[in-house]
Structure 1
Amino acid sequence: MDQHAPDPRPAQDDYDLDYRFTLANERTYLAWLRTALGLLAGAVALVHLVPQAGDEADNAERGIGFALALLGIAVTLGSMRRWQTVQRAMQRHENLPASRAPIYLGLAVVAVGIAVVVLLAR
């Protein structure tokens, strides 16, 4: 093969992805956004809809609401980064990067759940 002949393969940036993979990546991104919205809705509900039970309980409820809101923001930012990373990997024909986000989210939800149980047990 001639060393100066053009490469018959498309350039990495010119490669058209199978739309099914792009749409699957988008659906996953949207699922993460729904999770984030649920966390934010839980924060709003906890802070504004739960009956007030006194200063100490109010502080605990606000703390849990704050944690839920921060978790929702973190999930949103992480999902945006993950969507872009996966999209780029698919375009470059690379293996998809591993993600520990589901494990971290699960542990965070367990921690918030334990805090809620402790609050309810008072």
Structure 2
Amino acid sequence: MSPRKPPIHTVGSDPDYRFTLANERTFLAWLRTGLALLAGAVALAGLIHDFGPRALRVVITVLLLALSLVVTIGAYVRWDRAERALRENRSLPTDPLPRLIAIGIAVITAVAAALIFFAEIGG
């Protein structure tokens, strides 16, 4: 088991407040993205019942829910890592979250395109 990280306010020194606020705004933007993905999943699962094969709707819903969870958890991890780097006057760490969200949305778009295609062929 890895040792627990010390509380953020005990690490390093206070950075310029503008950087802390910018980091917070980025965190909130990632949370909005996670909420938007969740809203899409809820809408697809609860509001659209006659659009394409059910299996594809379920696949898209599950992908949206999984991506929402990854983005939401990743947002906090990203914020924490950036805040600690700012407080310790280190370079900001690289982050896989933007790549994950881009790949996830590309996959969801491809499955949604298939859903639309099958809905048009079947209807």
TM-score range, shorter chain: 0.7 to 0.9
Bigger relative contact order, structure 1 or 2, given CA contacts below 8 A and separation 6+?
2
Q: Does 1:45 align with 2:43?
A: yes
CA distance 1:115–1:38, change in 2 (3 Å):
same
Alignment TM-score, normalising by the size of structure 1: 0.83
String of CA shifts for 1:81-102, please: whole Å, max 9, x gaps.
Answer: 0100000011111000112321
Asked if 1:90 corresponds to 2:86, the answer is: yes
* 1:1-122 matches, cutoff 5 A: 13=11, 15-53=13-51, 57-122=53-118
Unaligned runs of 5+ in 1: 1-11
Larger of the two Rg values belongs to structure: 1
Superposition misfits of 4+ residues, deviation over 6 angstroms: none
Matches of 1:34 and 1:101, distance apart in 2: 14
TM-score by length of 2: 0.83
Report how far residue 53 of structure 1 moved: 4.9
| Residue in 2 that maps onto 1:5 | none
Residue-pair matches, total:
109
Q: Which amino acid aligns with 1:41?
A: A
The two structures, once aligned, show a CA RMSD in angstroms of 1.6
1:79 aligned counterpart, secondary structure: helix
